[in-house]
């Protein structure tokens, strides 16, 4: 019985002290958690931290593996003198080295421009040479026409003076020339006056004089001769008028086909067409001279043959 009483007393004590022990252990757990909470929470307010700080980072003193803030390190030249001492890595490069590429680009542009100028000078020199060659050809052709004209004048006039009334006798057109056989009043004097200008080598004045003669005597006895000499004069004036010469010779052939000047006019038309670049048309006139007057002693036949042999 006594033992039973001791057992009951012991059980009661256990029942009484059990909840108290549990309460003490819970209090101890709460105190430990509060202590841990107080140790990990920063004392400073959140607003005092820098704006760039990492909210999840811990102080470097407590966590050596936490994220550390970026730091600038002095640049090392490794033996290169071009890097400035103490400059930070990642600093912007100096603007001075940019001048070298700009200078090289300018030199390249100048070199290209110089080459273009040299090519332009060569092209202009070629043009000048071509024009000089054309000028030499024109001078040669003018001299040839002048010599031909002088030869014809010498064969017609001999050594006569250049005066109006005492000029060389004018060859009269043939009766079949179509210009009539009657000399109009004043026609002979006007024609000899214009012809004297030709012999005096006053070619521009002679052109005007013969044109005036044809305006006054369009159907006169010497009208065909006036057309012929106008065709000759348009070839020797400076500059030559090839189209006007062609028209004068063509008028003579159209209006006076049986005139004594017709073979010469036909030969001259062949030369004018050649000078104008119409080679086929030129050959037609020259062949026509040989075909129509080949049985005569006219000098135009020999001249036509010679011209064909030299140029065709």
Domains of the chain: 169-258 (1.25.40.10), 261-312 (no CATH)
Residue 178, pLDDT score: 41
| pLDDT recorded at residue 48 | 45
pLDDT, tens digit, for every residue of 251-309?
999 999 999 999 999 999 999 999 999 999 999 999 999 999 999 999 999 999 999 99
Each residue's pLDDT tens digit, 91-145: 444 544 445 556 677 888 888 888 889 888 988 888 888 887 776 666 555 555 6
Arithmetic mean of pLDDT over the chain = 72
**pLDDT score, position 130:** 81
Report how far apart, in Å, the C-alpha atoms of 295 and of each of 195, 291, 302 are. Answer: 31, 8, 11
- Dist CA 91 CA 93 (whole Å): 6
In the three-class reduction of DSSP (H, G, I as helix; E, B as strand; rest coil), residue 88 is classed as: strand
Taking residues 165-190, what's their average pLDDT? 58
Residues 6+ apart with CB under 8 A from 50: none
Phi, psi torsion values for 224, nearest 5 degrees: -60, -40
| Greatest mean pLDDT among 35-49, 139-153, 233-247 | 233-247
Tell me how crowded residue 25 is: count the other CB atoms within 10 A of its CB.
10
Q: Which residues are CB-neighbours of 221 under 8 A, at least 6 positions away? A: 172, 173, 179, 180, 181, 182, 183, 184, 187
pLDDT of 89 strictly over 70: no
Higher pLDDT, 276 or 10: 276
Interatomic CA distance for residues 207 and 238, integer angstroms: 12
From 238, 229, 210, select the one nearest 143 (Cα to Cα): 238
Percent of the chain with pLDDT over 90: 40
Confidence of residue 205 (pLDDT cuts 50, 70, 90): very high
Listed in sequence order, the DSSP H helices in the chain are: 2-40, 99-157, 187-199, 203-216, 223-236, 242-255, 262-275, 279-293, 299-311
- Once rounded to an integer, what is the mean pLDDT over residues 208-225? 95
Distance, in Å, from the CA atom of 49 to the CA atom of 58, rounded to the nearest integer, reads 12
Compute the distance between CA of residue 301 and CA of residue 126 in angstroms, rounded to an integer.
41
CB under 8 Å to 56, separation ≥6 — which residues?
none
- At residue 310, the pLDDT reads 93
C-alpha distances out from residue 187 to 196, 215, 232, 278, Å: 14, 11, 21, 37
Position 244 scores a pLDDT of 96
């Amino acid at each position: 019985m006594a033992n039973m009483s001791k057992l009951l007393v012991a059980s009661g004590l256990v029942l009484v002290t059990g909840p108290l022990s549990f309460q003490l252990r819970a209090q101890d757990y709460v105190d430990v958690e509060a202590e841990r909470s107080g140790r990990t929470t920063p004392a400073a307010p959140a607003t005092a931290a820098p704006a760039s700080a990492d909210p999840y980072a811990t102080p470097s003193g407590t966590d050596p593996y936490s994220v550390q803030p970026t730091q600038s390190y002095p640049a090392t030249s490794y033996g290169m003198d071009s890097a400035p001492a103490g400059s930070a890595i990642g600093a912007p490069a100096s603007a001075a080295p940019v001048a070298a590429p700009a200078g090289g680009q300018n030199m390249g542009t100048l070199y290209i421009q110089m080459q273009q100028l040299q090519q332009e000078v060569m092209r202009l020199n070629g043009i000048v040479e071509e024009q000089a060659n054309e000028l030499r050809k024109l001078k040669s052709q003018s001299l040839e026409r002048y010599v031909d004209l002088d030869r014809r004048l010498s064969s017609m006039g001999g050594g006569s003076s250049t005066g109006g009334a005492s000029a060389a006798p004018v060859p009269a057109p043939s009766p079949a020339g179509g210009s009539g056989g009657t000399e109009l009043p004043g026609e002979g004097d006007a024609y000899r006056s214009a012809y004297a200008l030709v012999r005096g080598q006053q070619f521009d004045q002679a052109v005007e004089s013969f044109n005036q003669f044809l305006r006054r005597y369009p159907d006169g006895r010497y009208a065909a001769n006036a057309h012929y000499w106008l065709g000759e004069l348009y070839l020797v004036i400076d500059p030559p008028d090839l189209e006007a010469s062609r028209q004068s010779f063509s008028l003579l052939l159209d209006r006076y086909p049986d005139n004594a000047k017709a073979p010469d006019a036909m030969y001259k038309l062949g030369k004018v067409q050649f000078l104008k670049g119409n080679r086929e048309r030129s050959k037609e006139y020259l062949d026509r001279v040989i075909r129509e007057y080949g049985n005569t002693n006219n000098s135009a036949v020999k001249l036509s043959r010679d011209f064909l042999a030299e140029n065709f």
